[in-house]
């Protein structure tokens, strides 16, 4: 019977509903730069198929047939500069303190720490975004709760490529069979599954219409004792919310 030794947490959409703030930060930066580009919530749903902010901007311009502004001679460099400004705006939105962790996240993190189950971050976004989200929500020392944080800057290929998960497993020195990935998106699920990980999905407004073949359970949230988790597919019973014992059971069942 495999023992549960680590939880690998995605960030955007899983730890917190951050994608709306990302969207606003992209639009803010476009406006600051004098661009007539605007990402509506509907368009952003489509654009989320491309992971990584820089890759998303490039995709938008190439696929939507948008012209580069006349002064742009090096589109990749221009996108990187835009993305620096977008990240600064996103960080200031996080620091306003209006983006709470999703239900059950803090409880699960604390439970894992208390029970000696390692924690890791496995995300497409960058390290400053992760640090700030955690520090604003949980206090300065929360970043030290994680044995490792693998971000988009650490890999050549972002999700749905499994690199971010494989690197986390390598750094943790653990086998996939002893770990659970917690994700919110189809791209995240593909990455985790390709790394051999049992994966729990908690959807959010940006991913609720996606499909999750291969997830061991798909939930509306992790839930809380007084706030049951609505199950979209799979099985959580006899529990009404996700806790460490429940994750352990899911790991056993997934590997039977
Ligand atoms: C989700 C993403 C990210 C964010 C934007 O990451 O795809 O690209 O939308 O962040 P996660 P950046 O793996 O945490 O769900 O602009 O920093 O890329
Ligand atoms: Mg995500």
Contacts by residues 217-221 (CB-CB < 8 Å, ≥ 24 positions apart): 217/250, 221/102, 221/103, 221/104
pLDDT the model gives residue 41: 96
- Summarised one tens digit per residue, pLDDT across range 184-237 is 999 999 999 999 999 999 999 999 999 999 999 999 999 999 999 999 999 998
**Which ligand is located closest to the Cα atom of residue 183?**
2
What mean pLDDT is predicted for residues 116-130? Answer: 98
Judge whether residue 256 has pLDDT over 90: no
Query: Annotated catalytic, 10?
Result: yes
What is the position in ligand 1's atom list of the atom closest to the CA of 184?
15
Pick from 165, 97, 162, 154: which is nearest to 126 by CA?
154
Judge whether residue 174 has pLDDT over 90: yes
Percent with pLDDT over 90 in the chain? 94
pLDDT the model gives residue 94: 98
Query: Annotated catalytic, 74?
Result: no
SS3 80: helix
pLDDT the model gives residue 227: 95
Summary mean pLDDT of the chain: 96
Judge whether residue 173 has pLDDT over 90: yes
Judge whether residue 241 has pLDDT over 90: yes
pLDDT the model gives residue 67: 85
Going by alpha carbons, the residue nearest to atom 17 of ligand 1 is: 125
Q: Ligand 1 pocket check: which of 22, 59, 210 to mutate, most ligand atoms within 8 Å of Cβ?
A: 22
What is the position in ligand 1's atom list of the atom closest to the CA of 10?
14
Quickly state the pLDDT bin for 255 (edges 50, 70, 90): confident
Pick from 22, 168, 170, 140: which is nearest to 181 by CA?
168
Using alpha carbons only, give the angle 90, 91, 97 rounded to the nearest 5 degrees: 100
What is the position in ligand 1's atom list of the atom closest to the CA of 123?
13
Going by alpha carbons, the residue nearest to atom 8 of ligand 1 is: 52
What is the position in ligand 1's atom list of the atom closest to the CA of 152?
18
Q: Which residues line ligand 1 (CB under 6 A)?
A: 10-13, 19, 22, 51-53, 123-126, 129, 152, 159, 185, 188
Judge whether residue 53 has pLDDT over 90: yes
Q: How far is the CA of 124 from the centre of ligand 1 (A)?
A: 5
Least confident range from 23-27, 37-41, 55-59, 61-65: namely 61-65
SS3 content of the chain, % helix, strand, coil (to 5): 45, 15, 40
What mean pLDDT is predicted for residues 104-131? Answer: 98
pLDDT the model gives residue 64: 81
Using alpha carbons only, give the angle 206, 210, 211 rounded to the nearest 5 degrees: 155
Annotated catalytic residue: which of 12, 161, 184, 186?
A: 12
* Max Cα–Cα distance, the chain, nearest Å: 61
- Pairing assessment for the beta strands 179-183 and 148-150 based on DSSP bridges: unpaired
Quickly state the pLDDT bin for 44 (edges 50, 70, 90): very high
Supply the pTM of this predicted model: 0.96
Going by alpha carbons, the residue nearest to atom 15 of ligand 1 is: 12
- Summarised one tens digit per residue, pLDDT across range 3-19 is 999 999 999 999 999 99
């Amino acid at each position: 019977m495999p023992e549960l030794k680590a939880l690998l947490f995605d960030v955007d959409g899983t730890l917190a509903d951050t994608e709306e703030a990302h969207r606003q930060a992209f639009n803010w930066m476009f406006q600051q730069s004098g661009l007539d580009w605007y990402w509506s919530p509907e368009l952003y749903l489509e654009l989320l198929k491309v992971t990584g902010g820089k890759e998303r901007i490039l995709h938008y311009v190439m696929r939507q047939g948008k012209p580069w502004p006349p002064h742009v001679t090096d589109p990749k460099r221009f996108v990187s500069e835009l993305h620096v400004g977008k990240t600064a705006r996103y960080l200031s939105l996080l620091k306003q303190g209006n983006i709470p962790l999703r239900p059950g996240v803090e409880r699960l993190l604390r439970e894992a720490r208390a029970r000696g189950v390692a924690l890791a971050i496995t995300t497409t976004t960058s390290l400053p975004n992760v640090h700030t989200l955690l520090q604003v929500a949980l206090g300065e020392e929360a970043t030290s709760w994680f044995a490792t944080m693998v971000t988009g800057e650490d890999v050549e290929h972002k999700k749905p490529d499994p690199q971010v998960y494989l690197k986390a497993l390598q750094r943790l020195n653990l086998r996939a069979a002893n770990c659970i990935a917690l994700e919110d998106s189809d791209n995240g699920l593909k990455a985790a599954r390709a790394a051999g990980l049992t994966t729990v999905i908690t959807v959010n407004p940006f991913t609720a219409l996606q499909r999750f073949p291969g997830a061991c359970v798909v939930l509306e949230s992790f839930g809380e004792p007084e706030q049951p988790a609505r199950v979209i597919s799979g099985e959580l019973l006899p529990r009404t919310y996700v806790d460490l014992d429940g994750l352990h059971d899911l790991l056993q069942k997934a590997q039977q």
